[in-house]
Amino acid sequence: MSFTKRTVRGQPLRTKIVCTLGPASRDSDTIERLIEAGMSVARLNMSHGSHEVHRETFAAVRAGAAKRDRPVAIMMDLSGPKIRLHEVEGGRFALRPGQKIDFVRGDAACTPDALTCTYARFIDDVDVDEPVYINDGAIRLTVVNKTVDTVTCAVDVGGVVSSRKGINLPGTRISSPSLTDKDVSDLALGIELGADIFALSFVRGADDVKDLRSRLIAARSDAQIVSKIEKPQALDNLDAIIEASDAVMVARGDLGIELPVESVPLHQKRIVRACREALKPVIVATQVLESMIENPTPTRAEVSDIANAIEDGCDALMLSAETAAGKHPLLAVETMARVSRDVEKVLTTRSEPADFMARRAGDALRKAMVIGAVIIAEPLGAKFIVVRSESGVTARYLSKVRGMCPVLAVHHDAGVLRRHALMWGVLAVRTDTDQGEVPSMEDDLRRLARSILEEGLVVTSDRIVVVSRYPWGEQLPPNNIRTLRVGDALGALP
């Protein structure tokens, strides 16, 4: 059969859910339950865990997705040049406001007299009057003096220093490459395993993305790149980064450390708006359901955060510790799905035809075909707009219109279908036949209608709108829109 049986009652979930897998969720049973609850993308955080653990988790996701016949993508989130303190002698010590503390070169243990860190060029890159934040900004220092081998900081906000705490340098232009030696090793693992997406951390400009792209091309990998916006420099180069990327993540954690926290909501809206304009998917991440790490229910503020992100136009929402290490990983996904469905009923963000056509991104013919399909589908009450998807471009355009009619992207290859995992409103399903294997458009429509009928996605009285290209095999944008009732399309098959 073409699909695993999965009747769609009402509207399918349109907002995509990214789940970080970890100790609380990487067993096979939990992974399958997360898939059933709505997980579209499984995130492997390469900052934690060994290659052996990630291999096992990767295999468990692929097995669970195959069992449930869902095109769940796997995203490897590369650590990037994250700066951390070295080990602390004695485990911990306190820094007090007004105190002076030195950073010195080397990898010796940190002491109350001198700190060392994992970034070898720390002393070269920082300058006097620049801020230095430790432990997600809980401890705040300012550089007051610099010599060849020492940087002296004044403690503005004190706190307890412990081993391996992160360091942020919001006013410093880091000279290190975007991919560290560890990232290169992790990238090789992901390419070997066949990861669908790589998330690039601490992106500063389009060149960082292009470097990763060139490495993927050299390795003959067609994996997608998600650029994480978490540094002020990335905001300065936002449009170029979006253009070079397949998708973007609003990484609110480090962004809220590098910038005043009160500025994060407006930056989030700007990033989402820019991605809508560029017709690229965008993920909103960090502390989306933070309270559910411990509690079985979300706060009202968290629910409002989800609703506002969807209303603004985000394609996907990401869970981090909630699913990786929290007490209620399944409940967190179910909660996100439930809230998302409720918001999707009353969305007011559908693009008007003139506005969509005026967007700077995309070719005019494809945009016109997509708008035409949406305009036809909605008054007809069509169950789906169906597109045979090779590259995913037409489905991505349809996703960005955010029309009322959901999109069904069909293809015979699971890898192609996983390329739709971050597209809002797109349900990717597999057929057993390639478009090139049927003799005519009419035969293709009959086979398509019968497949989705047999699998419970439609009933015979449902209308669908099919966006396709003809003749077969030509590298063309879609050039054909057909409307049909499923029952009318059925006929004798050869």
Question: Tokens 């290859």 label which residue?
Answer: 413
User: H helices within 296-405, ranges in order?
Assistant: 300-312, 321-324, 329-344, 353-358, 364-380, 393-401
| Region of residue 137 (left: phi > 0; alpha: psi -120 to 50; beta: else) | left
Find the catalytic residue in 14, 228, 396, 418: 228
Active site residue 286: yes
Nearest to 315 by CA among 285, 342, 345, 287: 285
Active site residue 396: no
Find the catalytic residue in 15, 30, 57, 286: 286
Nearest to 79 by CA among 234, 172, 199, 224: 199
CB-facing half-sphere around the CA of 469: CA atoms within 13 A: 14
User: What distance in Å separates the CA atoms of residue 349 and residue 487, rounded to the nearest whole number?
Assistant: 33
Residue type, 361: A
Active site residue 228: yes
User: What distance in Å separates the CA atoms of residue 432 and residue 437, rounded to the nearest whole number?
Assistant: 10
Active site residue 68: no
Q: Are 216 and 244 in contact (CB under 8 A)?
A: no
User: What distance in Å separates the CA atoms of residue 314 and residue 268, rounded to the nearest whole number?
Assistant: 10
Residue 62 tokens read as: 């692929």
Nearest to 370 by CA among 336, 345, 346, 393: 393
Angle in degrees, 0-180, between the axes of helices 181-193 and 206-218, rounded to the nearest 10? 50
Q: How far is CA 89 from CA 83, 95, 96, 373, in A?
A: 18, 14, 18, 65
Judge residue 147's burial from the number of C-beta atoms within 10 Å of its C-beta, 0-12 exposed, 13-18 middle, 19 or more buried: exposed
Please report which helix (H) or strand (E) contains residue 349, including its range.
Answer: none
Find the catalytic residue in 14, 16, 33, 43: 43
| Per-residue buried b or exposed e for 98-135, using 16+ beta carbons within 10 Å of the residue's own CB | eeebbbbbeeeebeeeebbbbbeebbebbeeebbbbbb
Q: How far is CA 388 from CA 222, 448, 477, in A?
A: 19, 10, 11
Residue 212 tokens read as: 């990763």
Residues noted as catalytic: 43, 84, 228, 286
